[in-house]
Structure 1
Amino acid sequence: MKNRTSKFIRFLASLKVAIVLLLLIGGYIVIGTVLPQHSAQAWYLERYPAMGKLILGLSLDTAYSSPVFIILLVLFSINLALCTILSLKGQVRQVKPTFFPRFKEEEYGFEGVDADKVRSYLKKHRYRVTEEDGVIRAAKHRYGVLGAAITHLGITILFLGGAIGTMSSSEEMITLLPGNQHRFEKQGFTLTLDDFHMTFEPNGAVKQYYSDVTVVDDDGTTLSEAMWVNKPFHHNGLGFYQANYGWTSHLKISDSESGEVVAEGLIRSGKTYFHQPNHLTIYLYGYYP
């Protein structure tokens, strides 16, 4: 039983398992990039009739937060951790000052070499020199053998941190025109997009994208900030990032009999809106002014 457990642990820590897991993780990343994420379930069933149920069943519509993707990350973290633990004993042994590999039988000594000059040269180049039974041994940068373990540990922390962050965080995409507001009821404030503008290089290329926003808390406190690419805006535990810009269309759904407007809002190209009362899915392919 102990032997089987040991074999299973070594298999789980093997390079083959790591490669398979990396391929699967890479596949999920590709799917999450190609397949539109966080759309209504009805849209996937309509857009992909043959694969819609499979997409929803495997949570590919939320690929980066799906249980399968999280499990793959956890398994890869376990693989790295076990690989590090199994190799750490030998690496720690190599770090000790007393460790030196055995001389091979085909190695030869040097005749007529001044030992004092050898010692002086090695010490000058910061080798740690030891002598035993007339044999001079020198070593430096012993801790370099721990590089792989430190790298594995760092990758494991990144994966686990990403997985925990994905499971504990939430994400929402909002579309605003200058002057539009969005209410965050739970956090107790209202966000207004005051203006959006771009700056340009002398050759006409876009230099930067800017969004000027104002937040008003429930207690009346007002804060105005500008955010741009790689400079998000944070308020009351929420982070705001510029994700996209472009044309936004005004969507209005009216009752065909009474003419009453039953739904109204903004929709961007490539996005969907699912109207639950009538099981109506609207997808805006594009707008060409």
Structure 2
Amino acid sequence: MSEAFVEKRLPTKPYETHVMIGGDPANPPLLLVHGAGPGASAGSNWRHCFADLVKDFYVIAHDMTGFGQSEIPDPLPPHAVTWMGLRIEQAFGVLDELGIEKTHIVGNSMGGALALHMLMEQPDRFDKVMTMGPAGAKMDATPELVRLVNFYADPRLPRYREVINSFVYDPSLVPNLEEITQERFKIATDPEVRRVQEVMFESMKTGMPALVVPPSALKRIPHEVALVHGRHDRVIPLQASLYLLEHLQRAELFVLDRCGHWAQIQRWDAMLPIIRNHFLETAR
């Protein structure tokens, strides 16, 4: 569905950022932030969503630092908190370059953590918020998440296929899952991508707890937040969204049946109405 968006490189100092943009700039802006699996990018997370979203929103999806076609940091950060800081500045840089003073935001997985940290730093830049299977929340690490962050210890296709299978409720219900697996595996094992992501995932093994947003900070977030979580998410457990639901001021939780970590791929039929209702209705 490439006709639904254009691709650009924006000078988000100190590194350039690859961005997908679609829709009428007069529509409400919606920033989409992807997750952090090996070979992930804005395109692999959000490409198929653009055709529906551009009917109502001005949609922006960028490759987070360390992923996709965005410029690679030099030197590579040694800690997960440092990576997050670069990504926060990068995302604000995207908004600044596009002249967007205030936006809605959807954060998937690691993108959910990014959204929460951005809300803490510049709350006035955001209207309504949605997280989907978010990192950045207190949770127990699942075996599937442990396998994901250790992928580069054994970067073979059969093992990668198992990682991707763990992202969905039932692999047989996602007809193009093998195509997604092959495409992302090719990216993940590109020598330059692997060089960067080996360092990045190593930092996540010990640094992830430092990215958890504490209850005291969550209670200060005034935004309306829709928490979307797959009932069968084996990568980021439902426990993560329950933690956010407990501590955020204004939050609603939507648990999707027959859905794993990729609600936008497995249950777009349910997620799209939630997006429209949450972001387009008048403030309560």
After TM superposition, the score normalised by the length of structure 2 is 0.26
Whose relative contact order is higher, 1 or 2, with alpha carbons under 8 Å and at least 6 apart?
Answer: 2
After TM superposition, the score normalised by the length of structure 1 is 0.25
Which structure shows the higher strand fraction? 1
Which structure shows the higher helix fraction? 2
